[in-house]
């Protein structure tokens, strides 16, 4: 009897405390999550503590088995969480194949999945809109760079069934039409928190970093990017030519990744060309094709490589960074925030494809 009572009362939080890890880590281990990196030693320790305490998955302090989430249904059906949401909420304004609809409903029935009334209210597509907040730079080429990411986000949102509302960075007050959530690009810390305090809706940072683990964020893995560039150019040091990003933590992350290499922030093309003519022997990495095209006449093709975000092609070597991939992850993160799926990964780093 004592053993049975012990099993009933053991919770994930107690396992986490005994193992010296977070509750999220215990959850990842018990649910066999492979998209989260957990050291093998940590995994074994968690499982060992579970055995010692008599923890049984699905039991807790008077609670029933862990409820099936919309993410579980989506993963098993091989569709997006948005598609599951549209089906279970009876959306008829979104085109979904009848076969997909039947498959999702069948899995919901088998798993006894029922969306809560709270989840319906929080994520029931009250407006069907998602805002994209994008800044304006004094550099025309940087604005074009923002536009490429903006287009990728728009495409990913529309495919997920959302309408898009464009918002201006630094604009005071709440938007006239309140969206379900907001994706923001390269905002300053002050702009981000001002937006958060004025809207009180889920916000995902894209192409920028927020110094708060509670927020979802998707950004370029600068360390991997610089390593790929050195491999591409067969050199030990590079000069990375980038835009003066407005988000300080993102710029700090880029500076940290340089690790002794040179970072040139473009204020004007004339300054950039002048620098290249004064340093003709260096190996250059350009943050986008527009910068590379502007400087190509000054360099041999073997001297530089270019970061490309779609199907662009340049004369020099290319490093692929898919803005489309980052946009899809950002939209998935936004849906996780809307559905209050706190165990979902909060950070996505976009790695290069050489």
Alpha carbon of residue 261 to chain centroid: 27
pLDDT at 112: 64
Predicted local distance difference test score (pLDDT) of residue 103: 84
The answer to whether 210 and 184 are in contact (CB under 8 A) is no
Name the DSSP class of 302: G
Locate the domains of the chain by residue range. 2-53, 70-122, 129-217+341-348, 222-323
**What is the chain's alpha carbon radius of gyration, rounded to the nearest angstrom?**
24
**Beta strands of 51-189 (E only): which ranges?**
129-134, 163-168, 181-185
Give residue 92's pLDDT: 67
Gap between the terminal Cα atoms of the chain: 61
Under 8 Å between Cβ of 286 and 292: yes
**Residue 145 CB contacts under 8 Å (≥ 6 apart), including other chains:** 243, 287, 288, 290
- On the 0-12 / 13-18 / 19+ scale of CB atoms within 10 A, 203 is buried
CATH code that applies to domain 70-122: 1.10.260.40
Which two tokens mark 139?
A: 């550099």
Spelled out in words, what is the top-level CATH class assigned to the domain 222-323?
A: alpha beta
With CA atoms as reference, report the closest residue to 159 among 78, 207, 72, 96: 96
According to DSSP, the residues that pair with 28 across neighbouring strands are: none
Sorted by sequence, the CB contacts under 8 Å of residue 278 that are 6+ apart come out as none
Determine the pLDDT at residue 63. Answer: 40
C-alpha dist (Å) from residue 104 to 66, 72, 219: 20, 11, 32
SS (H, E, C) 187-213: CCHHHHHHHHHHHCCCEEEECCCCCCC
Fold of 129-217+341-348: Rossmann fold (3.40.50)
- What lies within 8 Å, CB to CB, of 209 at 6+ separation is 217, 219, 247, 249, 250, 253
* Residue labelled with tokens 């059906």: 77
Question: Are 2-53 and 222-323 the same fold in CATH?
Answer: no
Give strand pairing partners of 347.
217
Q: Which residues, 6 or more positions from 40, have their beta carbon under 8 angstroms from its beta carbon?
A: none
Consecutive 10-residue averages of pLDDT for the chain (354 residues) = 45 83 76 70 85 66 57 86 78 79 78 54 59 92 94 93 88 71 95 84 94 91 96 96 96 94 95 96 96 94 92 76 95 87 88 81
Q: Residue 46 in 3-state DSSP? A: helix
What is the Cα–Cα distance from 20 to 82, expressed in whole angstroms? Answer: 35
Q: So what's the pLDDT on residue 226? A: 97
The pLDDT value recorded for residue 36 is: 65
Report the C-alpha gap between 216 and 326 in whole angstroms: 12
Cβ-proximal residues to 193 (8 Å cutoff; 6+ apart), any chain: none
Give me the CATH code for the 2-53 domain, please.
Answer: 1.10.260.40
pTM over 0.75: no
Q: Residue 17: CB partners within 8 Å, gap ≥ 6?
A: none
β-partners of residue 218 are 206, 348
pLDDT score of 173? 58
């Amino acid at each position: 009897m004592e053993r049975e009572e012990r099993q009933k009362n053991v919770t994930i939080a107690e396992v986490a405390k005994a193992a010296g890890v977070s509750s999220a880590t215990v959850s990842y281990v018990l649910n066999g999550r492979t998209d989260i990196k957990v050291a093998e030693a940590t995994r074994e320790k968690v499982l060992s503590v579970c055995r010692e305490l008599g923890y049984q998955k699905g039991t807790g302090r008077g609670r029933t088995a862990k409820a099936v989430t919309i993410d579980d249904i989506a993963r098993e059906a091989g569709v997006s969480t948005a598609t599951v949401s549209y089906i279970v909420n009876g959306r008829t304004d979104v085109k979904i194949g009848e076969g997909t609809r039947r498959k999702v409903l069948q899995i919901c029935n088998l798993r006894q999945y029922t969306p809560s009334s709270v989840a319906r209210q929080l994520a029931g597509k009250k407006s069907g809109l998602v805002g994209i907040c994008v800044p304006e730079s004094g550099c025309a080429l940087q604005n074009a760079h923002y536009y490429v990411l903006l287009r990728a986000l728009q495409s990913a949102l529309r495919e997920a069934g959302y309408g898009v509302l464009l918002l201006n960075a630094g604009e005071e007050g709440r938007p006239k039409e309140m969206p379900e959530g907001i994706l923001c690009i390269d905002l300053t810390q002050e702009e981000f928190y001002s937006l958060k305090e004025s809207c009180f809706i889920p916000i995902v940072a894209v192409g920028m970093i927020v110094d708060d683990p509670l927020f979802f964020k998707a950004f370029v893995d600068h360390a991997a990017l610089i390593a790929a560039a050195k491999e591409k150019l067969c050199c030990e040091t590079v000069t990375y030519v980038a835009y003066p990003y407005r988000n300080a933590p993102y710029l700090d992350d880029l500076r940290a990744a340089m690790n002794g290499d040179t970072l040139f922030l473009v204020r004007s093309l004339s300054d950039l060309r002048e620098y290249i003519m004064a340093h003709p022997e260096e190996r250059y990495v350009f943050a986008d094709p527009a910068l590379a095209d502007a400087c190509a006449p000054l360099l041999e093709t073997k001297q530089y490589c270019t970061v490309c975000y779609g199907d662009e092609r340049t004369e020099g070597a290319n490093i692929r960074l898919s803005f489309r991939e980052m946009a899809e992850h950002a939209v998935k993160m936004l849906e996780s925030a809307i559905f209050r799926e706190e165990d979902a990964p909060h950070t996505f780093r976009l790695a290069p494809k050489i």
